[in-house]
Structure 1
Amino acid sequence: MKFINWLILFAIAPLAACAPKRDLTLAPPENAQWVDIEVVVPTNTTAFPLNALYRSSVCLHERRQADMSKVKSRGYNPVHMALQPDAGGRVYRQRVALDGGGPCEWKLSMITLGIEYSRTDHLVKDAEVGTAVGLKVAFDNEASNNGYYEPVKNELTHSSVYYPVELNWNEANKPLELYLFGEHSFYPYRMFIDKG
């Protein structure tokens, strides 16, 4: 069995070497505009890492369709950034460049950010932390093409009411889970920013 695993690995390895590499380097220019992000979290919650998706019209992504024809689309570069807490641990901040620069000329397409429980014992003993809640902010039409995104211009202030939800699977091997629940799991916004 071990021989077969190695045989498969050696058969696939040469194919991986043929795949062209995209340069994922971000190098914002000196005059880049920045998005300043601030998340204020309630007690017993924490901000999860910010996910920024950059896209490029220079470094294209190639994929095959069902009929094996090649299709090229804008390249993508997902970047995960930790939000930095202040001394009190309730306010988290991060800066994200609109123009990611680099050889691929990356442009910010979308950010996803939010909060999740940091602990559960204040409400339920021996529960696991469930899924997070937050915001999806699109910066171009490609990111916002899968549904309605509320348009905002230059600045976004969002405040939500979330409730704890206890999820019990009624199975002996499944732990109890504690979730945050609101009107939306992730509120969708489409940000329009004045250049300059």
Structure 2
Amino acid sequence: MNSLSKTAFIACAVTLLFGCDNRPDKTLSPPEGAKWVDVIFRVPEGITLQPVELLYRSAQCKSVRYNSSNEPHDIPGYNDIERAFGVPDDDNVRRLRVAVNGGGSCQWQLNSLKVSFRIADDVPLVKGKEVIDTSYIFDFGDYGLSDGYGTGQARAFSGDRLELETDFFPMTYISHMLNKTTLKLFGGDTDCAKWSRRYQLKNTEFITIAPMFHAQKSVSIEADRKRGSGMVITYPGGDEEHVRKVNPDYQRLLLLK
């Protein structure tokens, strides 16, 4: 092959991988026999399910990052995608099938999958509050989503079916300093491994998430202005607890469900 032919060959290869604007081709094209994962979500009343966020990585199509000394180094390329769940069935179950082997010219591989949901806008408790998403993250490889989104440390799971059922309680956080009130779902302190909502998966083909939303069992947290330090946690029924922590007692809430 002469030098001109070699140059043309290299140019063609680069074009296939990166396209005309020197960015990687992010098209997915799962090959025959590709691995897939099915995500099943049972949506309880009062909850809105968000599109799934997918992160694919490619060893073929690199990205450049710079260290603290401003020196470049290559890392696997990334490809972030959103996918909506399918329409609900009669039991309000929604499904999404995701390719683990994304294929394409960059041979994309599923790295992380994030499922998010929140308290629905038509729930009366939402009025006047900033609503925050609750998420599960599932990692299929390294270089995953760097921000845990409050899900906690990943715990390993090996098996074809992962089934998750978590009790969630509406939690209102009142910030007098910021003059802001936020609302989110509380399913245990995710700093505790047993309540973490992040998983490192191996050979998993089915993920089923069935949250239980206790809409009438609301808990609130605010600064203890009377004592000048700590927090006041008000549990369903009106009982107050004065503490130096920022999360309710999840076991106590579970006894009230």
Q: TM-score, normalised by structure 1?
A: 0.78
For 1:164, which of 140, 159, 170 is the aligned residue?
170
1:136 aligned onto 2:137: yes
Q: Do the aligned partners of 1:134 and 1:186 also contact (CA within 8 Å) in 2? A: no
Q: Is the contact between residue 41 and residue 115 of structure 1 (CA under 8 Å) also seen in structure 2?
A: no
Q: 2:94 aligns with which of 81, 85, 92?
A: 92
Counterpart of 1:84 in 2: which secondary structure? Answer: coil
- The answer as to whether partners of 1:120 and 1:129 remain within 8 angstroms in 2 is no
Amino acid in the other structure paired with 2:166: S
CA RMSD of aligned residues (A): 2.8
Q: What's the counterpart of residue 82 of structure 1? A: 84
The separation in 2 between residues aligned to 1:151 and 1:172, in whole angstroms, is 40
Shift of 1:68: 2.3
Q: State the distance in 1 between where 2:140 and 2:109 align.
A: 9
Alpha-carbon distance between aligned partners in 2 of 1:172 and 1:89, rounded to the nearest angstrom: 41
Which of 178, 191, 200 is the aligned partner of 1:190? 200
Give, as a single letter, the amino acid of the residue that structure 2 aligns with 1:154: D
Shift of 1:130: 1.7
- Determine the structure 2 residue equivalent to 1:48: 50
In structure 2, C-alpha distance between the alignment counterparts of 1:170 and 1:194, rounded to whole Å: 45
- Structure 2: distance between partners of 1:88 and 1:107: 33
Q: Distance in 1 between matches of 2:101 and 2:51?
A: 20
Equivalent position to 1:102, from 96, 99, 104: 104
Cα 1:190–1:173, aligned 2, differ >3 Å: closer, same or farther?
closer
Distance 2:178 2:107 in 1: 52
In structure 2, the partner of 1:22 is 24
Which whole-Å CA distance do the structure 2 matches of 1:144 and 1:83 have between them? 20
The whole-number CA distance in structure 2 between the counterparts of 1:22 and 1:105 is: 11
Q: Note the C-alpha offset of 1:179.
A: 1.1
Do 2:37 and 2:97's aligned partners in 1 also have CA atoms closer than 8 Å?
yes
Q: Deviations over 1:58-88 (max 9, x none)?
A: 0001122232211001111111111123144
Percent identity over the alignment is: 27
Partner residue of 1:177 out of 182, 186, 191: 182
Partner SS for 1:157: strand
Computing the radius of gyration over CA atoms, which structure comes out larger, 1 or 2? 2
SS state at 1:31 partner: coil
Contact 1:130 1:180 in 2 (8 A): no
Structure 1 residue 90: deviation in Å?
Answer: 2.5
CA distance in 2, matches of 1:172, 1:189: 33
Partner AA of 1:181 in structure 2: F
CA distance in 2, matches of 1:89, 1:171: 43
Shift of 1:129: 4.9
**8 Å Cα contact 1:42-1:90 kept in structure 2:** yes
* Aligned partners of 1:133 and 1:186 also within 8 Å: no
Change (3 A) 1:54 1:182: same
Between Structure 1 and Structure 2, how many residues are aligned? 176
Any idea what SS the aligned residue of 1:123 has?
A: helix
Counterpart CA distance in 2 for 1:79 and 1:97 is: 12
Residue 172 and residue 190 in structure 1: after superposition, are their counterparts in 2 closer, same or farther (change >3 A)?
A: closer
> How has the CA–CA distance of structure 1 residues 129 and 120 changed in structure 2, closer, same or farther, with 3 Å as cutoff?
farther
2:80 match: secondary structure: strand
